[in-house]
Chains A and B, each alone.
Chain A
């Protein structure tokens, strides 16, 4: 449901900066359904990648094979991302707070971490410079926290107009898609509020998995269930990916 909900948000023709995992699945699903002209950009340097199966890593050969262009890493970050050419950036997170700031660095104290995570990668600049950011992660209480252990990538910072004060050119996170529902920042405060739940999910379930007092929209919607077409395309994509992996390993 997460990748289907995310895919629906991609308009046709947008330039989309994609990470591996759910974002990659969502973007490729969109490209195979309603958004065939959506241009996929991976941080390894592929512009307009058209993978026929989902890559395991950010730099799989399948991304370069039929790409419109392959450029260097500095070009990707400077000419494409920082210059404001990317419409939508997808991000994941280990922790997120009520202003959609993200931690992917450590759980616990930085100097003596309980869990050392991979770190920043491309996320801070995607969060800073993509015109809008969509965050995808599973809705768990240990991920939706009152206070981040480390602020790796800026969302709406301290709320209100504080993000603009940092000089970033992108609008920041416009939605957070989880396995339970969809959250969007409120207009003034920029605090995340629950705007939709997925079919069969209760609001209390979402509250229980959120580490702060979660705001809920007066106009709470239920996400439309996946269509036959969406499910069919997604299953086919997963099946082909799995088959390609087995073949590669065998």
Chain B
């Protein structure tokens, strides 16, 4: 299977400076290892797309990789603020961050339109809110059949989408089970697709609520066990809630954040080494 490659090679080849990049994951299966590799390779001027930018986008933004963020909810789930995101928006540090802000429903439908090859999606929302005032990519549209006024949002077609999944098989098919969020739509709307997986197996076993992304929809598959940590991979490991709480303190201060990133992300060669490095400082309790 020629799609099986190292994460370093996949990012070097498929992610370019200035790209619009979506690293999706809805609390479950967040592609942390891939985000770290993008930071290590110093990719810049990225437009980051994601419904729920969390710790990895906080890291990308704090390291100056992003010029723009397209999103619908930017927080540390269950904990509070994303301090690097806030610092960029409130103080322009380390560089100003342009925002394109939607609701979850708007973002979800933008991916659906992108995956469907349509120019826009239609929904009943946004009216009466201040979002259309600050977000250019929302516009009213009249239903040609009923005359009802609805809202249109343009399709999302990322240059690259990166997701993490539990398994890939030898032919390059990808299996995801548990909460699968928006990953399928994010992958099918993108020009290039990188999937990191917990393991490559001979054959998939049937699982409840499993989806399979066929090999033709994927460009690169990289085996990175633990690659979604500190989020979780259903059937492999649990979410490390303590790390999310810990991140609040690490990210609050610019110097402490930079120091942490230097030691645990820039100063290591791989995600495996990253996990060893934070475990040594007992940040990772598991």
List chain A positions with a Cβ less than 8 A from chain B.
20-21, 43-46, 55-61, 63-64, 69-70, 72-74, 77-78, 81-82, 105, 110, 113-125, 128-129, 150-154, 157, 163, 166-169, 245, 248-250
Contact = CB atoms under 8 A, between A and B. Distances in A.
B198 interface: no
6 contacts: A45-B181, A58-B77, A116-B85, A116-B89, A245-B241, A249-B240
A56 B241 contact: yes
Nearest to A124: B103
B131 A73 contact: no
B130 A121 contact: no
Contact of B234 (A61, A78, A120): A61
A78 B208 CA distance: 22
A167 B75 CA distance: 30
A168 B125 CA distance: 8
Given A44-B27, A167-B149, A249 B241 contact: yes
B127 A44 contact: no
B276 interface: no
A121 B72 contact: yes
B90 A73 contact: no
Contacts of B123: 78, 82, 125
Interface in B87-130: 89-90, 101-105, 108-109, 111-112, 123-130
A120 B102 contact: yes
A59 B103 contact: no
B146 to A, nearest CB: 11
B71 interface: yes
A97 B208 CA distance: 44
A117 B89 CA distance: 10
A182 to B, nearest CB: 25
A171 B149 CA distance: 19
A120 B72 contact: yes
Given A56-B77, A125-B103, A72 B180 contact: yes
Nearest to B92: A112
A123 B128 contact: no
10 smallest beta-carbon distances between A and B, as pairs: A59-B27, A118-B75, A121-B73, A57-B77, A56-B78, A249-B242, A77-B105, A70-B209, A154-B128, A125-B105
A122 B123 CA distance: 13
Contacts of A20: 77-78
A20 B109 CA distance: 23
A88 B99 CA distance: 31
Nearest to A111: B134
B178 interface: yes
Contact of B26 (A44, A82, A117): A44
Contacts of B191: none
A118 to B, nearest CB: 3
Given A116-B85, A125-B125, A110 B104 contact: no
